[in-house]
Amino acid sequence: MKELKILYLYPDILELYGDFGNIQVLRYRLEQRGIQATIIPYSIGDTPPNFSDYDLVFAGGGADQEQEILAQDLIQYKENMKEAVQNGVFFLLICGAYQLFGKYYKGVEGNLIPGLGIFDYYTEALADRKKRCIGNIVINTKLNGKETKIIGFENHGGQTFDIHTPFGDVLFGNGNKFGDHKEGFFLDNVIATYLHGPLLSKNPELADYIIQYCLHRKYQEDVVLEPLNDEFENKAREQLLNRFLHS
């Protein structure tokens, strides 16, 4: 039986916006295809992981305070994570986690939270805590060359700068900062995005794209995933796309 090993970072801390749902969707879409989903949580105080031992690393979003707490723990893994990124391990990073892989995140109180600096972007929250990018969001991206609309929900004060390889073009909503036409960060085996939702529950094609990448890399074979019944997901998508793009 094929298996994917998923490292789930700080599930007890980065869980403010329901991003755990992404793990549930990955587990479901793997097990429906007879592929074992081995999900290993890691949080502060646990045995340090070797990131290259995993096929996928996932981390969700959280409030500034939680980011400040875990940043001090996360920084010790900078080199190990960089190596895993270079080895091709897939990283799916949502919002707060996205921010912490850049140079720094300056919180709403003006506090500077050092990031891992694995990528050159940086994030600064506006001083007015009422000024947050909140709402539904739709972006257009390319997955294996195929134009794909990605639907989500954003809730971030952080405004992210210096992105040269965005995840997608904003069709509805804010994106990396107020009035930005780009959202997220996408480079080879790293997708970092502001889209909660949970992201993968609203975008089965993206979930399968990530699964396909991980299986191909691990088993060194062209993987054709057996289609799943996504009738409800697609009906929901149709409703949402009509509401956000065509009303």
Listed ranges 22-30, 57-65, 70-78, 172-180: which one lies at the site for ligand GLN (CB under 6 A): 57-65
Listed ranges 42-50, 72-80, 150-158, 199-207: which one lies at the site for ligand GLN (CB under 6 A): 150-158
User: Binding to ligand GLN by residue 198, rule CB under 6 A?
Assistant: no
Q: Which of 6, 35, 55, 67 binds ligand GLN (CB under 6 A)?
A: 67
Q: Which of 49, 158, 184, 197 binds ligand GLN (CB under 6 A)?
A: 158
Phi, psi of 216 (to 5 degrees): -65, -45
Q: Which of 155, 169, 172, 228 binds ligand GLN (CB under 6 A)?
A: 155
| SS3 sequence of the chain | CCEEEEEEECCCCCCCCCCHHHHHHHHHHHHCCCCEEEEEEECCCCCCCCHHHCCEEEECCCCHHHHHHHHHHHHHHHHHHHHHHHHCCEEEEECHHHHHCCCEEECCCCCEEECCCCCCCEEEECCCCCCCEEEEEEEEEEECCEEEEEEEEEEECEEEECCCCCCEEEEECCCCCCCCCEECEEECCEEEECCECCHHHHCHHHHHHHHHHHHHHHHCCCCCCCCCCCHHHHHHHHHHHHHHHCC
- Cα angle at 13 between 8 and 15, to 5 degrees? 75
**Nearer residue to ligand GLN within complex by CB, 124 or 233:** 124
**Nearer residue to ligand GLN within complex by CB, 71 or 81:** 71
Listed ranges 28-36, 145-153, 155-163, 213-221: which one lies at the site for ligand GLN (CB under 6 A): 155-163
**Nearer residue to ligand GLN within complex by CB, 155 or 212:** 155
Contact 156, 92 (CB under 8 A): no
Which residues are known catalytic residues?
95, 196
In whole angstroms, the minimum distance from the beta carbon of 86 to ligand GLN comes to 26
Contact 231, 35 (CB under 8 A): no
User: Binding to ligand GLN by residue 212, rule CB under 6 A?
Assistant: no
User: Binding to ligand GLN by residue 157, rule CB under 6 A?
Assistant: yes
User: Binding to ligand GLN by residue 61, rule CB under 6 A?
Assistant: yes
**Nearer residue to ligand GLN within complex by CB, 158 or 175:** 158
Task: Lay out the site mask for ligand GLN across 93-132 (x = CB under 6 A, - = otherwise).
Answer: --xx--x-------------------------x-------
User: Binding to ligand GLN by residue 63, rule CB under 6 A?
Assistant: yes
Listed ranges 26-34, 50-58, 81-89, 156-164: which one lies at the site for ligand GLN (CB under 6 A): 156-164
Q: Is the bond leading into 227 cis (omega within 30 degrees of zero)? A: no
Strands 185-187 and 190-193: antiparallel
Given the rule CB under 6 A, which residues bind ligand GLN? 17, 61-64, 67, 95-96, 99, 125, 155-158
